[in-house]
Every structure is written in structure tokens, then in C-alpha cells.
């Protein structure tokens, strides 16, 4: 990161564009050499000190000129490995081509053919291990960091459409009289609901929480994904006529089977997410001051506990926090703790930074914000004081062992390396299992040994007319995969309802 301000970054882009003006004016496409010479555009970000005490978004987004310049870097290579790298196969060269010509409206429509949530995915997709990992430009420049910033352009064109009020609800076909229930309101459910409603079916979303959006509202913090963006997607669903019943837990408020048998739903889509926090199963884990990342983040995001002046929900006051894990959830928890005023935040991870499943950008941002990484370490027990509150964590160190058959070097405990890390708060972010509430209350619904709902290639479960997708099928995965599954399931449901006549 160059440390340039938003304005400076914008000016750099303007200069580049100015320099290319004549050349672009000829009408002939840029050649590969010319494209490779265009400098990569940097994402403007909020000041790294100031942002430690606010919840506002960290990445500020490209200006139009930056987006156009970045899009022009795409080599438009024929084999387009990026499309294969994209879980929903967005026609990336085409949308970048349109953006490179400044046709931003066309650009976003191309994305929308394959993805319903570009403003969300542009922000939270792990691009560096998907489309950008295989980008030919990145390969040519020998660094994935220099690949085309596909996600950033995606975000820009989606934001532009949204902010200019041009994002219209898709047209809905004439009513068919068929009813579909969608359980959950995360990315899988939002996508399924939209695609099913489009065909003219009556769609009702049932969400356990008081606000729809799933992990996008309760888990991922505002500083990474502004809630207004998610709300707009929900508003669009409502404008399409999708009904949203919040405060409704399927399995408790109503059994899934009753939705089909008694309430007249012709099909059900389950998009209930992973949602069962794993704990480390070590001594002291129920001490006061130990939280699952889900709880910590839900308090701060959904319940808005960071807004202490208004929120009724309290959040633990911490001075020294240890977060265990190395994924996006761990980064979000650590960075939230920073913003809530903790003096020291440690991120303790069993392997090395290379193996961290978190998005690269989040790792950078966490470091910039002062999160201290303790790599090759893990917790052995949590130690409490006389009031049952966390006082310290006993950690042990690891070193990387000999490569195993797959070539992967697993961590091996270093004998006698135990030490105490003094903290008053512990946040466990080592993943989520599948929440069994629906499977336990639905007879005949098949799940695998890890509680994930088993589906066929059409996303149909062991019960006829009941489909599932997203984290409840994949295990804790990603937004884009959840969205892709919601779409596939919707297609299958639409097909089922069409044949039922």
C-alpha cells in the first residue's frame, strides 16, 4: 500500500486515462503490452488510525476513473481462466470490457446474469483464491497481487447502480398460484427467493432473527459490508412481492412438514446456514469472558451493541483480547474488538499466515489496525480468577513438521513450550458446524455425519419437494457459493412447479 489518499489515487487514475485518451480514441483495442503497462489501481481506504475507533467501511471504493483504468488492465485473453475460477461463472472479461469503455450500466448487467449480489460479493469474495488467483495478467506479472482487481471493479459498477437508484426489481411473471417457503434469509435464501418469485410463484421467507440477511447482517461487520447494502437487497425482494416473516423459527414456530402438509406450500427451500459454533473443548471454556465469535459479532452487529448510547444489548468491556482462529470470522472478531476499545488484541492461529483461510485484504487490514498475530500457537486451557472471569490463556507453541504425503507440513507441538498469555477476553473463532434444529424436527430429512443436509444434483433433499443449499449443505463456506446454490435450487424448484402444472 502506497499510503496515498483517495484524492491522490483518483488523480493517478485520471492521469493514466488522459495518457491513454488518444490511443483509445483510435477505436482499436489495446494490445497486451499496452494493457500490461497500465499500473494496478489501489483501493482507497480509511485512515488506519482513525478507523480503529469507528465502524465505517474501511475500503472506500474506486472512483469511476480508477474502475475504468483497472478494467483496461484485463488482457481479454481468450481462455479466460477467471471465469473457471468464479464459482458462479460470471463472464468476467465481458463485464471488464464494458467497464473499460466506461459502460458501467452494461457492465453490472453482465454480472447480474450470473450473480444476484455483486455489491456484496465485490466486497467479501476471496477473489485471490478464485478468479484473481488464475488471472493471466497476474501470472504474467508473477504475483497474484498484480492480477486484475476484478472484485474491486465489480464492487464499483454495483455501487454506482445502487447509489444512482437505477437498481430495479426484476420483473415478476403473472401469478401461478403456487407457494414456496424459503427458510433463512442469507445469500442462499435471498437468491432462491428472487429467482423463484420471478417465475410468478408466491414466496414467503421465514427468518428466525428479527432482521433478514443472515450472516451478512449478524456476522460480517459494518466496516466490511455496510448493512444498508444488504437492506437494499431485502427491499428489492419485498418490492418483488416476496413476503418476509421474521421471528419465525422453522422447526419450532412451525414444523417443516406442516408447511407442506397444512399450510399449502408446494415446495420448501432450506437455506438455514451453518450456525452452530465450535468450541475448543478445553478447560475453562465456560468462564465469564469467553465468547464464540458468533455471539461477539452478533452482539456488536445485529444487536448494535457497539452503539452504547442507544443499544440495550451489552457487550463485554475488554482490555486484552485473544481471538482463536485464522479465518474471516477470526479477523472480523479481532477487528471488532479493536473498535470496541480493547488495548491489545491477539490473534492466535495454529499454523502460519500462509495457511490462513481469511481473505488477504482482511489480514492486511487487521495488521494495519494493530492486531498482533501469534502464529504457530494454540490454547491448552483458559485460566480464571476467583470470580470465574478469564485471567489468562495457557498457550503452547508449534513448529512445522516434516511434509506429509500430500506435501503439507502439519504443526507439531514444541515440548515444554507452554506459556501464559494474559487476557481478560477470549473469542473462539474456529468454525461452525451445521445447526441441527431443522433436521432434528423434520422426520426423514437425511444429513451426513457432520449434520449437513444431503442433497442430489438438483439440490433436492431426501424429502420430495424440499430443497436445500448454502452453508447447511456445504458446511461453513462462502457467500458466492451459497448464492450459486440458491440459484441452482431455485431452477430445480421452478422446474418442479412447472411440471406439476
Partner 1 sequence: MGIIFSILSFLATIVVKSIMNRIVSKRQLAAEVFMIEVEAPLIARERQAGQFIILQVDESFGERIPLTIADADSERGTITLVFQTVGRTTHLLAEKSVGDSVPAVLGPLGQPTKIEHFGDVVCVGGGIGVAPLYPIVQALKGAGNRVTVIMGARSKELLILEEEMRAIADEVIVVTDDGSHGRKALVTEPLKELCEQEPRPNLAVVIGPPIMMKFCAETTRPFDVSTVVSLNTIMIDGTGMCGGCRVTVGGETKFTCIDGPEFDGHAVDFDNLMQRLRAYKPREDADHEKCHQELETGRGGSE
Ligand X SMILES: Cc1cc2nc3c(=O)[nH]c(=O)nc-3n(C[C@H](O)[C@H](O)[C@H](O)COP(=O)(O)OP(=O)(O)OC[C@H]3O[C@@H](n4cnc5c(N)ncnc54)[C@H](O)[C@@H]3O)c2cc1C
Residues that bind ligand X (CB under 6 A): 124-125, 183-189, 206-209, 214-215, 219-220, 249-251, 271-273, 275, 297, 328-329, 332, 359, 435, 437-438, 470-472, 477-480, 482
Which of 189, 105, 131, 140 lies closest to 35, judged by CA? 140
Nearest approach in angstroms of CB 450 to partner 1 is 15
Contact present, 124 and 225 (Cβ < 8 Å): yes
Interface region with partner 1, contact rule CB under 8 A, candidates 94-102, 133-141, 277-285, 369-377: 277-285
Cα dihedral value 461, 463, 268, 264, nearest 10: 170
CB of 103 to ligand X, least distance (A): 28
**Residue nearer to partner 1 on the CB measure, 10 or 178:** 178
Choosing from 36, 311, 396, 491, the residue that interacts with partner 1 (CB under 8 A) is 311
- Select the binding partner of residue 117 from partner 1, ligand X, none (C-beta < 5 to 8 A, by kind): none
Stretch that binds partner 1, among 86-94, 143-151, 386-394, 442-450 (CB under 8 A): 386-394
Helices (H), 91-135: 92-100, 104-112, 118-124
470's contact among partner 1, ligand X, none, with CB below 5 to 8 A by partner kind, is ligand X
Between strands 344-349 and 320-324, the pairing is: parallel
Is 319 a residue that touches partner 1 (CB under 8 A)? no
Task: With beta carbons less than 8 A apart as the criterion, state whether 248 and 259 touch.
Answer: no
Measured from the CB atom, the residue of 154 and 471 that comes closer to ligand X is 471
Contact 217, 208 (CB under 8 A): no
Number of residues lying near partner 1 (CB under 8 A)? 46
| Rounded least distance, CB 109 to ligand X, Å | 23
Among ligand X, partner 1, none, partner that 189 touches (CB below 5 to 8 angstroms by kind): ligand X
Asked if 280 interacts with partner 1 (CB under 8 A), we say no
Max Cα separation, the chain?
Answer: 77
* Residue 20 CB, nearest approach to partner 1 (Å): 48
Among 249, 383, 396, 454, the residue binding partner 1 under the rule CB under 8 A is 249
- Of the residues 174, 415, 450, 501, which one makes contact with partner 1 according to CB under 8 A: 174
- List all residues 6 or more positions away from 206 whose beta carbon is below 8 Å from its beta carbon: 181, 182, 183, 184, 245, 248, 249, 250, 253, 254
Binding of partner 1 at residue 142 (CB under 8 A)?
no
Cα–Cα distance for residue pair 460/90, rounded to 1 Å: 24
Please report, as residue ranges, which positions from 96 to 115 form the binding site for partner 1 (by CB under 8 A): none
Give the start-end residues of each E strand in 209-343.
Answer: 243-245, 267-270, 275-277, 290-292, 320-324
Question: Residue 285, interface with partner 1 (CB under 8 A)?
Answer: yes
Indicate which single residue of 40, 437, 477, 491 sits in contact with partner 1 (rule: CB under 8 A): 437
Q: Which residue's CB is nearer to partner 1, number 367 or number 389?
A: 389
Coil/strand/helix, residue 2:
coil
Name the CA radius of gyration of the chain, rounded. Answer: 24
Answer with the entry of ligand X, partner 1, none that 479 interacts with (C-beta below 5 to 8 A by kind): ligand X
Strands 202-206 and 432-434: unpaired
> Residue 206: which of ligand X, partner 1, none does it interact with, CB under 5 to 8 A by kind?
ligand X
Pairwise CA distance, residues 54 & 345, whole Å? 16
- Span of 36-44, 244-252, 363-371, 481-489 interacting with partner 1 by CB under 8 A: 244-252
Could you write out the three-class secondary structure of 185-213? CCHHHHHHHHHHHHCCCEEEEECCCCCCC
Give least dist CB 25 to ligand X, A: 40
The reply on whether position 253 binds partner 1 by CB under 8 A is yes
What gap in Å lies between CA 288 and CA 317, rounded to an integer? 12
Judged by CB under 8 A, does residue 208 bind partner 1? yes
Nearer to ligand X, 214 or 384 (CB): 214
User: Closer to partner 1 at the Cβ: 82 or 208?
Assistant: 208
What angle (nearest 5°) sits at the alpha carbon of residue 326, between those of residues 452 and 88? 55
Q: Which is nearer to ligand X, 287 or 437 (CB)?
A: 437
Q: Which is nearer to ligand X, 8 or 448 (CB)?
A: 448
CB of residue 208 to partner 1, shortest distance in Å: 5
Distances (CA, A) of 334 to 139, 304, 365, 404, 468: 33, 17, 11, 32, 32
Q: Let me know the angle formed at the C-alpha of 159 by 154 and 160, rounded to the nearest 5 degrees.
A: 105
Q: Rounded CA gap, 135 and 74, in Å?
A: 9
Determine if 177 is a binding residue for partner 1 (CB under 8 A): no
- Binding partner of 365, given partner 1, ligand X, none, CB within 5-8 angstroms per partner class: none
- Give the nearest distance from C-beta 352 to ligand X in angstroms: 20
Helix and strand numbers, DSSP H then E, in the chain: 19, 16
How far is Cα 463 from Cα 482, in angstroms, rounded to an integer? Answer: 21
Binding site for partner 1 (CB under 8 A): 174-175, 208-211, 241, 243, 246-249, 252-254, 275-277, 279, 281, 285-289, 291-292, 294-295, 298-299, 303-304, 307, 310-314, 316, 387-389, 435-437
Amino acid at each position: 500500500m502506497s499510503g496515498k489518499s483517495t484524492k491522490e489515487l483518483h488523480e493517478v487514475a485520471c492521469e493514466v486515462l488522459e495518457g491513454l485518451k488518444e490511443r483509445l480514441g483510435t477505436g482499436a483495442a489495446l494490445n497486451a503490452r499496452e494493457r500490461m503497462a497500465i499500473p494496478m489501481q489501489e483501493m482507497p481506504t480509511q485512515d488506519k488510525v482513525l478507523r480503529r475507533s469507528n465502524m465505517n467501511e474501511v475500503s472506500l471504493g474506486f472512483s469511476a476513473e480508477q474502475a475504468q483504468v483497472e478494467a483496461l488492465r484485463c488482457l481479454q485473453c481468450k481462455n479466460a481462466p477467471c471465469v473457471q475460477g468464479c464459482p458462479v461463472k460470471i463472464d468476467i472479461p465481458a463485464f471488464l470490457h464494458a467497464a473499460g469503455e466506461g459502460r458501467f450500466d452494461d457492465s453490472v448487467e453482465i454480472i447480474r446474469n450470473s450473480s444476484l449480489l455483486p455489491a456484496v460479493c465485490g466486497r467479501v469474495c476471496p477473489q485471490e483464491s478464485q478468479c484473481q488467483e488464475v488471472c493471466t495478467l497476474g501470472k504474467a506479472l508473477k504475483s497474484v497481487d498484480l492480477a486484475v482487481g476484478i472484485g474491486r471493479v465489480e464492487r464499483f459498477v454495483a455501487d454506482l447502480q445502487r447509489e444512482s437508484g437505477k437498481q430495479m426489481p426484476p420483473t415478476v411473471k403473472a401469478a401461478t398460484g403456487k407457494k414456496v417457503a424459503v427458510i433463512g434469509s442469507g445469500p442462499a435464501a435471498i437468491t432462491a427467493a428472487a429467482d423463484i418469485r420471478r417465475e410468478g410463484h408466491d414466496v414467503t421467507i421465514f427468518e428466525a432473527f428479527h432482521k433478514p440477511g443472515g450472516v451478512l447482517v449478524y456476522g460480517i461487520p459494518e466496516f466490511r459490508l455496510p448493512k444498508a447494502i444488504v437492506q437494499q437487497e431485502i427491499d428489492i425482494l419485498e418490492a418483488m412481492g416476496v413476503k418476509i416473516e421474521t421471528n419465525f423459527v422453522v422447526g419450532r414456530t412451525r414444523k417443516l412438514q406442516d408447511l407442506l402438509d397444512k399450510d399449502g406450500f408446494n415446495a420448501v427451500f432450506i437455506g438455514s446456514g451453518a450456525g452452530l459454533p465450535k468450541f475448543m473443548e478445553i478447560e475453562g471454556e465456560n468462564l465469564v469472558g469467553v465468547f464464540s465469535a458468533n455471539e461477539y459479532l452478533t452482539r456488536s452487529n445485529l444487536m448494535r451493541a457497539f452503539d452504547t448510547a442507544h443499544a440495550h444489548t451489552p457487550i463485554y468491556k475488554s482490555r486484552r483480547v485473544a481471538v482463536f482462529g485464522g479465518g474471516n470470522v477470526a479477523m472480523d472478531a479481532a477487528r471488532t474488538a479493536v473498535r470496541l476499545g480493547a488495548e491489545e488484541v491477539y490473534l492466535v492461529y495454529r499454523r502460519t499466515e500462509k495457511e490462513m483461510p481469511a481473505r488477504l485484504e482482511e489480514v492486511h487490514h487487521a495488521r494495519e489496525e494493530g492486531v498482533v498475530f501469534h502464529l504457530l500457537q494454540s490454547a491448552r486451557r483458559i485460566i480464571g480468577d476467583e470470580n470465574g472471569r478469564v485471567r489468562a490463556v495457557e498457550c503452547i507453541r508449534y513448529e512445522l513438521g516434516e511434509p506429509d504425503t500430500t506435501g503439507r507440513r502439519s504443526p507439531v507441538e514444541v515440548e515444554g513450550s507452554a506459556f501464559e498469555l494474559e487476557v481478560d477476553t477470549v473469542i473462539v473463532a474456529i468454525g461452525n458446524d451445521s445447526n441441527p434444529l431443522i433436521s432434528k424436527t423434520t422426520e426423514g430429512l437425511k444429513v451426513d455425519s457432520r449434520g449437513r443436509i444431503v442433497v442430489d444434483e438438483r439440490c433436492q433433499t431426501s424429502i420430495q419437494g424440499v430443497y436445500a443449499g448454502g452453508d447447511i449443505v456445504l458446511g461453513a463456506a462462502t457467500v458466492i457459493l451459497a448464492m450459486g446454490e440458491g440459484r441452482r435450487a431455485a431452477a430445480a424448484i421452478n422446474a418442479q412447479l412447472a411440471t406439476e402444472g
